[in-house]
Each structure stands twice: as C-alpha cells, then as structure tokens.
Amino acid sequence: MLDVSMNNLQFGYDKELVLSGVDYKVKAGDFVCLLGQSGCGKSTLLRLIGGLEKSSPQELLVGGRPVDGPSLDRAMVFQDYGLFPWMTAGDNIEIALKQKYRDWDKHQRKAKALEWVRNLGLDEDLYDKYPMNLSGGQRQRFATARAFALDAPLLLMDEPFGALDAVTKALLQDTVLELWENGKENRKTIFFVTHSVEEALLLATDILVLGQAPSKIIYTHSFTEATKPRRETLFTDPAILDLRNHLTKIINDEINERASRLKEEKANGDPGKTSFFKRKKAV
C-alpha cells in the first residue's frame, strides 16, 4: 500500500560506496524480490528502506516521503534474531501489537496475535513457548506472524526462509504469497531478499538483480497477473525456464567476473600490503 521510489540512491557505510545509484520505482502493492550475489548490498538496501541506515532525503521516498528512522509502517523480518529469546513467542507478537494498537487491552491483543499464529499454520500450544524451544521454521513463522499482525503497508523480508528445509520453505512461501494475494486492491508492498532464483520467480511481481558492490540494478523483470509463475508452472513453462536460466546466468557471470578479477589481481599485484588491501576491497 506504499510506493517506494529509489532515485539514483547512493550509500556507503564508510568512504566506500555499497550502492552506487540504484534507480527504480516500486508501485504500491508490488512484490519485489532482490537477487544478487552475497555482499552486493541487498540487506543494505532493505535496511535503508527500513530506516535502520540513513539515506539522503530525496534519494529514497516511501509513500512520497523521505525515510526518517524505523517505523511500524515498515515491518521487517530478518533471517534470524527476529524474536527476542527472553519472551515467549506469543509475547513477541503482543509487544509489537501493544505499540500499534495503543487502546487495545490484553485480550484484544492476544486474540489478534492468535489469529495470525493460526493463519501461519502454527499450533496454538506453541504460543507460550520460548523461542529456544521452537524449531527454526516455527520461529520464522512467529516472526512472519508478527510482521503480518502489525498490518504494515510495507513489508521488508531479508532472506527470511534462507535457513529452512525445503518443505518448510515451500509452505512458508505459499503462506506469504497467499496472505499477500488476499490483500486484493489493498495489497502490501513487499521487498523480499533471496539468493534463490526459484524463490524470486515464485513470489515476485518484480525481480531486481543487483550487480557487484558498489552496485546498481543490472537487470529487472516484471510479471503481469497473467505471466506470474506458479509453483506448478515454475519448472514446466518454457518462458519461465528461459527466464530462470537467464537470471542464473546473469548472477553467475557476475560471480565469474569477480573471481577472475580477483585471480588477476593476485597474479599482477606484488604480494605486499597493496594487494592485501585491494583484495580486501574486492571481497
């Protein structure tokens, strides 16, 4: 429900740039998947949108306004560390709802939290357990349930299902897709970082591929309602298979290029201080 516009967005943690001119406009309700090799700045881009890192005001607009710090309007799901281990899984959702719906009492919060726990296919018995007593998949579901329960118009997910087994991953992908589709004309805008081309194809309306750091968007693909892949067509539809190979090739070319550049540097540079620094930069 929020549009995001990145206008030649540049960012670096220190002097070196991580993002060097990311330019893209995301319409409200789009499901954007970010692909790219590790270290290219996918998490950084997500953190900028989430307000955890500071960007120049006009380079990044969410809902037409510059991002100024984190907000309940932009719910985040990380790969791990999403839940506070000293609270029960249920309390992890309720503490978030307490900020969002300040006039609700405890019963209302719990009812809402339980509703989302069920929506994510979790057993209600898990509600009072501590995160350490849950499996990785269950923890990720609770973190996702919290993000959805907050009903934020923008959802930022950083490799949320990266560490899960294939079956759990597929279940969660379907759940997220379904919850997003159920939003109808009020769909949430979702940014989803993944390193799996298949996952991106399955979920995205828009796929963005980031190049090597300092990175720009090097490839984009948008689906329409009709061309959007389904799990059933993912491995059968020739057009999708082509696209999948193409995306894989782009990402691999980037990796190969980087690898050969590293090799070259190693061969040319004297093995002293300079090459150490160069190499460090490249990694």
Rule CB under 6 A: which residues touch ligand ADP? 13, 18, 36, 38-44, 213
Note if the bond before 153 is cis, omega within 30 degrees: no
Partner in contact with 261, chosen from ligand ADP, Mg ion, another protein, none, beta carbon below 5 to 8 Å by kind? none
Closest distance between ligand ADP and the C-beta of residue 170, in Å?
23
Query: Contact, 146 vs 96, CB < 8 A?
Result: yes
Alpha carbons 148 and 155: distance in angstroms, whole number: 8
For residue 128 the two structure tokens come to 């009072």
The Cα-based distances of 44 to 95, 127, 162, 214 in angstroms read 26, 32, 17, 11
- Which residue do the tokens 């491995």 mark? 235
Closest distance between another protein and the C-beta of residue 96, in Å?
5
* Chain centre distance of CA 257: 25
Q: Which of 110, 109, 134, 133 is nearest to 122 (CA)?
A: 134
Closest distance between ligand ADP and the C-beta of residue 207, in Å?
15
Partner in contact with 200, chosen from another protein, Mg ion, ligand ADP, none, beta carbon below 5 to 8 Å by kind? none
Q: Closer to ligand ADP by CB, 42 or 141: give it.
A: 42
For residue 92 the two structure tokens come to 């992890």
For residue 273 the two structure tokens come to 């201080």
Q: Closer to ligand ADP by CB, 43 or 138: give it.
A: 43
Q: Which residues of 73-100 are buried (b: 16+ CB within 10 A; e: fewer)?
A: bbbbbbbeebbeeeebbbbbbbebbeeb
Q: Closer to ligand ADP by CB, 38 or 99: give it.
A: 38
Q: Which residues of 247-262 are buried (b: 16+ CB within 10 A; e: fewer)?
A: beebbeebeeebeeee
Binders of another protein among residues 69 to 128 (CB under 8 A) are 69-72, 74-76, 78, 81-82, 84-87, 95-96, 98-99
Binders of another protein among residues 5 to 64 (CB under 8 A) are 50-52
Closest distance between Mg ion and the C-beta of residue 90, in Å?
28
How many residues belong to the site for another protein (CB under 8 A)? 24
Closest distance between ligand ADP and the C-beta of residue 280, in Å?
10
Partner in contact with 213, chosen from another protein, ligand ADP, Mg ion, none, beta carbon below 5 to 8 Å by kind? ligand ADP
Binders of Mg ion among residues 41 to 100 (CB under 5 A) are 43
What is the binding site for Mg ion (CB under 5 A)?
43
Residues that bind another protein (CB under 8 A): 50-52, 69-72, 74-76, 78, 81-82, 84-87, 95-96, 98-99, 130-132
